Structure 1
């Protein structure tokens, strides 16, 4: 009887990020360990960081503002890089809001240093190189809606403890997941928490 290979687990502490190499056909599972935690998801093609998952290109590709199971995320070259294959959360994920950065926290009135998803990305991706500009991420478990007048409505992440999203890699890529450190608005319930990233072997 053929044995199933175990998944590789990468814990991501609150406010930090983790990076994993994923081969085409493998699956990446992102878990909101304690719930109510946004996960900024980035993906870069192996060997060429200039080609990466693009939220803007994906919106045009799927003709939707927010992702759902069965849909693909595409790169700046309009190639599928990840497919959303399973979601045990309430399904609220955002493709409108950029990664938080030091300027964002200053604008919110914070004085001094504060971790951010932009800086987390650069730190986690450093072994593979410098991405240059920070791409707009897919914000898993983030509840953003659009009011009738076009205003964005920011809600608390509805992901419960253990809620997970599973994505299948369509290209060899590096996936970076940041446990968003935002604590100056409601998205993480005021207290950022940890994530878990699992790389699951390709199905045969």
Structure 2
């Protein structure tokens, strides 16, 4: 390690600047959303089995709720525009705008060139958790998803029920296509219910036992027509390891809810980003 300069402490003491102040972001009408959710009716229910994934569709202006139903379990969520799979959830930009973890009032943003809200979190029964003494919090947009490539790199073994493979199989089944055609659509996830952070000394990504329990849920409003895929992670509550068959795992449920007629009359479907895509040419 090189010797620190004389002004090392002064350099460290420079105050940080928020990269993307969000005061000018269009704000969701949370009171309207909450009222519409209170009167919404269940129209469908989908179950992601342990160490597997399931796809589901949500029309714009409907809600979807992810439920812990049998035991502590984390899930990996992918979202696409149901009419155009090239528009998909952009975890990196969501992280840049809202922070490393998301909760009620935060939005899941789509990829370029659209960069618009895909879904808004309307209710979160784990919002009480906050940030713990280790720097951990819930529902992260920093982890990429457990995958067989990193597993092969670190252990030399092939494991096919990690979240990347689960999502790939589920999407291939939904699209009725080979897995090699579905795989390029799989992208970085929202880690639902997962408790994660970065270590203070080495800056490494860590996970710890999720605080989720049966009855906990995370609820979204679909801002556009959505295709979703949810994997019930092979790590279970991620208290010890993932990408293995040793952790105790449980299913997750997705419930689709339709608001009453007129409940969202003031809601406006978000348009694609206003940038003209000229790139200075």
Normalising TM by the smaller chain, what interval? 0.7 to 0.9
| Greater relative contact order structure (CA < 8 Å, 6+ sep) | 1
- Give structure 2 stretches of 5+ with no counterpart: 1-38, 130-137, 264-281
Q: Is the 8 A contact 1:143 1:187 kept in 2?
A: no
CA drift of 1:100 comes to: 1.3
SS at match of 1:115: coil
2:118 pairs, out of 73, 76, 81, with 81
Q: Is the 8 A contact 1:142 1:157 kept in 2?
A: yes
Give the aligned partner of residue 105 of structure 1. 151
| Separation of aligned partners in 2, 1:118 and 1:196 | 19
The TM-score, its normalising length taken from structure 2, stands at: 0.65
Deviates further, 77-86 or 113-122: 113-122
Q: Does 1:117 align with 2:152?
A: no
Q: Does 1:96 align with 2:145?
A: no
Give the aligned partner of residue 67 of structure 2. 31
Alignment of structure 1 residues 1-80 onto 2, 5 Å? 5-62=41-98, 64-76=99-111, 77-80=114-117
Q: Is the 8 A contact 1:105 1:114 kept in 2?
A: no
Deviates further, 150-159 or 137-146: 150-159
CA drift of 1:131 comes to: 5.6
SS at match of 2:150: helix
1:139 pairs, out of 179, 191, 194, with 191
Residues 24, 131 of structure 1: alpha-carbon distance in 2 compared, 3 angstrom cutoff: farther
2:219 pairs, out of 154, 166, 169, with 166
Name segments (4+ residues, structure 1) moved above 6 Å.
Answer: none
CA drift of 1:187 comes to: 5.8
Deviates further, 147-156 or 185-194: 185-194
CA drift of 1:50 comes to: 1.2
CA drift of 1:107 comes to: 4.2
Q: Is the 8 A contact 1:38 1:187 kept in 2?
A: no
Deviates further, 169-178 or 115-124: 115-124
Higher share of residues assigned strand:
1
Residues 131, 52 of structure 1: alpha-carbon distance in 2 compared, 3 angstrom cutoff: farther
Residues 153, 174 of structure 1: alpha-carbon distance in 2 compared, 3 angstrom cutoff: same
* Number of equivalenced pairs: 201
- Give structure 1 stretches of 5+ with no counterpart: none
SS at match of 2:92: helix
CA drift of 1:191 comes to: 1.3
Q: Give the CA RMSD over aligned residues.
A: 2.4
